[in-house]
Amino acid sequence: MRFNVFISSSMRDIEIIRDLKATFERYGITVVLPSEIISAAPIYQSIREQIQASDCFLVIIGEGGERSNAVNFELGIAVALNKPIVPIVEKDAILPSELRNMRYIVIDKNEPRISYERAAQYLSQLKLEKEQRNSIGGLIMLGLGLLLLGAIFGSD
């Protein structure tokens, strides 16, 4: 089962994005980046559709803590769509007020790979929870189908 993660960040964090993407893909997690979206639709519409189709929204907060208008726009969409948001924060970054009450993953510049693995493991847990929910939903539908068949054939 696919698990899609939309990553929002400043282009200054391109190295972090590249390393996170490689790590996540080893865990079977599909990464969607705004810079890779190709669509005939207007870019903001395409970004909204990609965030909506994603299972999780990941936002990178670099050391400066400033976010571009694009990151603010993408974060606003994720909040409006009630997507799980996972902030990835550089060690000395100032966390924006709207993200302070969320669980987040700190990137230690001295050991970034450990942080990337931790993020991938957390997303893998979310992926497993999604698979379990879908399996339970499938079992419920099967049970309802069997009850319906029993009702149809038992009424003779």
What interhelical angle do 112-154 and 14-26 show, nearest 10? 50
d(CA 6, CA 59): 8
Give me the mean pLDDT over the 90-108 stretch.
80
Helix (H, G, I), strand (E, B) or coil at 100: coil
d(CA 58, CA 31): 10
Residue 153 has pLDDT above 70, yes or no: no
Supply the DSSP string of 1-24, one letter for each residue. Answer: ---EEEEE--GGGHHHHHHHHHHH
Give me the mean pLDDT over the 57-65 stretch.
81
Q: Where are the beta strands (DSSP E) in 17-155?
A: 30-32, 56-61, 85-90, 105-107
Helix (H, G, I), strand (E, B) or coil at 115: helix
Query: Which structural domains are found in the chain, ordered by start?
Result: 4-121 (3.40.50.450)
d(CA 117, CA 106): 12
Residue 111 has pLDDT above 80, yes or no: yes
